[in-house]
A and B are shown apart, each in its own frame.
Chain A
Amino acid sequence: MAAVLKNPGIKRFSDNVAKFWFAMGPFRYLVAAGLMILVPVIMERGYLPEWTLLGYLDGLYGTNILFTTGVWILLALGLNVVVGMAGLLDLGYVAFLMLGAYTTALFTESGSAEQFHFAILNPWLALPIALVVAMLAGVLLGVPTLRLRGDYLAIVTLGFHEIVRQTMNNLEVTNGSRGIFGIPHPSVPVTGELGLDGTPYWQWLLVPAIILAVIMIKHLENSRVGRYWTALREDEVAAAAMGVPVTKMKVLAFVIGASTSGVAGWIYAVKLNYISPNNFPLLQSILVLCAVVIGGLGSIAGAVLGAALVIMLPEIVREASGGAEVFGFDIETGRIAVFGVLLIIVMIFRPGGLLAAKRRRVELMEAGAADMVISEAGPDPDETAAPVGQEPVVTEGDDVRAPSEGGEER
């Protein structure tokens, strides 16, 4: 694994891909959107061969998995702001997804005749409401708890997830553990429904949301706010001494994180038609965190990759194994264990995550980062020394204030 990741050929290839990608400028968002719209169609029709791994995920089953992947990409992008950029360990992030989903249910024509509603609106109108409710929840959770640090904050957020879930489980208006069914699909102009030839491509709804989230987060990262977050993450005392409005910035991180989660909740609810507390176990909050960590804390591309891996890999393993057994267990049942192993391998060989953010890459090599530059630069300039040694040059440059395409992480 290590050998593969450090292979100079692969590294050069991936560097070139990245160079090409960023050379496209803002146009790359269009390309990304195009791919995200086309790939589901190609996958669904089974045109992809199995060696691409995606080929295992064909038919309606595949498009459903792509949908889930999209929802998780949104979640991971949001959580990455909270954990990766601002450095606040949030273990209950899926609570905001739940709030977004339930808000949607309670503001649209859902459930039986007796079902309680705040209002019955067009599903599209429920979207801004779900967004605002999730953001408000971010403020409500943030203001009292963000004085806590590290482990304590993690415990409180963990509790927050369970509080929200148990509340939904026990309230009359949310129909308790039976959940709410019949949440309406939003209708789309022209075709009336998302998709082609009657196949609903719900992931298309996610494409603009993901692209907007990426653009928003990227701009935040390269702005004053992003630098404040870095300062907070690195040293809270120093940040306060330099006049960073500490609590405000932390709450802002929570709110930004909650916003993408709220949108994801809306999409989740209107696609599935049905939500219940059982859809949101605590494990999900942990898995989103796994996705962010595997991808690389603080790295936007990493969050996307991490979420895709967390959702798709177990399914691919399930399909590819075809019911094979290891030590008497079928691989399908043990697919979650694949993750444990993957996570450990990634943490050993790529402590910053698969697509580590540049600054994090340096943070994690902290002990003797300077020495490494000296000792490794000589024999193999292509290798690890390059990112480590060049990093300060890149971020220190003249464009710290002015967000530019060149200064981006990948």
Chain B
Amino acid sequence: MANAPLLELRDVHVHYGVIEAVRGINLTVNEGEVVTLIGGNGAGKTTTLRAISMVHGPSHGQILFRGEDITTLQSHKVVQKGIIQVPEGRHIFPNMSVAENLEMGAFQRTVARKQLDQELDHIFGLFPRLKERRKQMGGTLSGGEQQMLAIGRALMAKPVILMLDEPSMGLAPQVVELVFEVIAQVNADGVPILLIEQNAQMALQAAKRGYVIETGEIVLEDEARSLLGNDRVRKAYLGEE
């Protein structure tokens, strides 16, 4: 199975009641890659992610993780496999301290206190800002810090693959750059990333490959660099004439 992709979606359909939000998606993520899924509002990006994490599973099709079908699993079992998502809108625990938020990330694993502290230090090394605020309540952080915390918390879960849902949403441009630097750094440590974004420019620069989703269907699929140069993408998502 050496050549089996890490994560593979085969003809995945997702329904909300009678409405079909995702209509037969095929998508793969290989070891070590950053793959991005870009598209506008309501295109089915978040739905795809929720299908992978089995929060709202697919109505048809297969999701394979290292060749194994995970569509029969409950969402917390998916997390135990190492498929970790950072939900849209960050969703940190507002009344837990920064350190407690991070510890929540490691909760589905059994970790000795000493090792946990080492892992916390590792995260604080990645995000020095969080270290300064480790005892502060999560809800009192700024938007960017909260996003860092959400990513840090996901990393504490030791992801085999990390899925980020619009990490740039609602953040100032400078902070967005910071977030993408972090994404690059996390990937450089060997964690494959599935990045869902509306900010196509940033996402395609960060990714190796990209998919474009429109009304529930993949309309384009290519190397990220080629997509950046693609006319259709430039017009629809990069705001060029």
Segment touching A, from B74-82, B166-174, B199-207: B74-82
A242 in the interface (beta carbon within 8 A): yes
- If A392-B135, A400-B100, A401-B113 touch, whether A363 touches B93 (CB-CB below 8 Å) is no
A1 in the interface (beta carbon within 8 A): no
A-B contact count (CB 8 A): 92
Q: Is the CB of A242 within 8 A of B79?
A: yes
Q: Is the CB of A241 within 8 A of B79?
A: yes
A370 in the interface (beta carbon within 8 A): yes
A333 in the interface (beta carbon within 8 A): no
Q: Is the CB of B135 within 8 A of A238?
A: no
A228 in the interface (beta carbon within 8 A): yes
- If A224-B107, A231-B104, A366-B139 touch, whether A238 touches B92 (CB-CB below 8 Å) is yes
Q: Is the CB of B153 within 8 A of A235?
A: no
A244 in the interface (beta carbon within 8 A): yes
Segment touching A, from B5-13, B16-24, B83-91: B83-91
Q: What is the interface of chain B mostly: helix, strand, loop, or mixed?
A: mixed
Q: Is the CB of A370 within 8 A of B87?
A: no
Complex interface residues of chain A between 83 and 138 (CB less than 8 A to chain B) = none
- If A243-B76, A244-B76, A366-B139 touch, whether A392 touches B97 (CB-CB below 8 Å) is yes
Give every chain B residue within 8 A of A395 (Cβ-Cβ): 97, 100
Q: Is the CB of B92 within 8 A of A242?
A: no
Q: Is the CB of A370 within 8 A of B80?
A: no
Q: How far is the CA of A191 from the CA of B55 in the complex (A)?
A: 58
- If A228-B107, A235-B92, A396-B97 touch, whether A240 touches B137 (CB-CB below 8 Å) is no
Q: Is the CB of B136 within 8 A of A243?
A: no
B155 to chain A, nearest CB (A): 12
B134's nearest neighbour on chain A, judged by CB, is: A396
- If A242-B79, A243-B80, A370-B140 touch, whether A230 touches B96 (CB-CB below 8 Å) is yes
A196 in the interface (beta carbon within 8 A): no
Q: Is the CB of B108 within 8 A of A238?
A: no
A344 in the interface (beta carbon within 8 A): no
Give every chain B residue within 8 A of A224 (Cβ-Cβ): 107
- If A231-B104, A242-B153 touch, whether A393 touches B135 (CB-CB below 8 Å) is yes
Size bin of chain B's contact surface: 35 or more
B156's nearest neighbour on chain A, judged by CB, is: A242
Complex interface residues of chain A between 226 and 267 (CB less than 8 A to chain B) = 227-228, 230-231, 234-235, 237-246
B105 in the interface (beta carbon within 8 A): yes
Give every chain A residue within 8 A of B76 (Cβ-Cβ): 240, 243-246
Q: What is the interface of chain A mostly: helix, strand, loop, or mixed?
A: helix
Q: How far is the CA of A369 from the CA of B97 in the complex (A)?
A: 12
Q: Is the CB of A242 within 8 A of B55?
A: no
Q: Is the CB of B113 within 8 A of A366?
A: no
Q: How far is the CA of A370 from the CA of B134 in the complex (A)?
A: 13
B91's nearest neighbour on chain A, judged by CB, is: A238
Contact digits for A358-401, partner B, Cβ 8 Å, 1 yes 0 no: 01001100100110000000000000000000001101101011
- If A362-B95, A396-B99 touch, whether A240 touches B75 (CB-CB below 8 Å) is yes
B217 in the interface (beta carbon within 8 A): no
Give every chain A residue within 8 A of B154 (Cβ-Cβ): 241
Q: Is the CB of A242 within 8 A of B97?
A: no
Give every chain B residue within 8 A of A396 (Cβ-Cβ): 97, 99-100, 134-135
Q: Is the CB of B137 within 8 A of A370?
A: yes
Q: Is the CB of B135 within 8 A of A243?
A: no
Contact digits for A212-230, partner B, Cβ 8 Å, 1 yes 0 no: 0000000000001001101
Q: How far is the CA of A230 from the CA of B108 in the complex (A)?
A: 15
Q: Is the CB of A237 within 8 A of B91?
A: yes
Q: How far is the CA of A243 from the CA of B236 in the complex (A)?
A: 36
Contact for A235 among B75, B94, B136, B137, CB less than 8 A: B94
Q: How far is the CA of A235 from the CA of B150 in the complex (A)?
A: 13
Complex interface residues of chain B between 110 and 129 (CB less than 8 A to chain A) = 113, 116
Give every chain B residue within 8 A of A234 (Cβ-Cβ): 93-96
- If A235-B92, A396-B97, A400-B100 touch, whether A242 touches B157 (CB-CB below 8 Å) is yes
Complex interface residues of chain B between 126 and 181 (CB less than 8 A to chain A) = 134-137, 139-140, 150, 153-154, 157
Give every chain A residue within 8 A of B94 (Cβ-Cβ): 234-235, 363, 366
Q: How far is the CA of A256 from the CA of B134 in the complex (A)?
A: 33
A70 to chain B, nearest CB (A): 33
Q: How far is the CA of A201 from the CA of B33 in the complex (A)?
A: 71
Contact for A238 among B93, B99, B139, B140, CB less than 8 A: B93
Q: Is the CB of A243 within 8 A of B96?
A: no
Q: How far is the CA of A238 from the CA of B100 in the complex (A)?
A: 13
Q: How far is the CA of A370 from the CA of B132 in the complex (A)?
A: 14
Give every chain B residue within 8 A of A362 (Cβ-Cβ): 95, 137
Q: How far is the CA of A239 from the CA of B93 in the complex (A)?
A: 9
Q: Is the CB of B103 within 8 A of A400?
A: yes
A10 to chain B, nearest CB (A): 27
Q: How far is the CA of A240 from the CA of B76 in the complex (A)?
A: 7
B53 in the interface (beta carbon within 8 A): yes
Contact digits for B65-80, partner A, Cβ 8 Å, 1 yes 0 no: 0000000001110011
Q: Is the CB of B107 within 8 A of A243?
A: yes
Give every chain A residue within 8 A of B150 (Cβ-Cβ): 238
Q: How far is the CA of A348 from the CA of B84 in the complex (A)?
A: 42
Q: Is the CB of A235 within 8 A of B93?
A: yes
Q: How far is the CA of A228 from the CA of B103 in the complex (A)?
A: 12
Give every chain B residue within 8 A of A369 (Cβ-Cβ): 137, 139-140
Can you sample 12 A-B contacts with CB below 8 Å?
A: A228-B107, A231-B104, A234-B96, A235-B91, A238-B93, A241-B154, A242-B153, A243-B157, A246-B75, A370-B136, A395-B100, A398-B113
The 7 A-B pairs with the shortest beta carbon distances in the complex, nearest first, are: A243-B79, A243-B108, A238-B91, A392-B135, A245-B76, A392-B97, A234-B93
Not counting A234-B96, A241-B85, a sample of 11 additional A-B residue pairs whose C-beta atoms are within 8 angstroms of each other reads: A234-B95, A235-B92, A238-B93, A243-B80, A243-B107, A246-B75, A363-B95, A366-B94, A369-B137, A398-B113, A400-B103
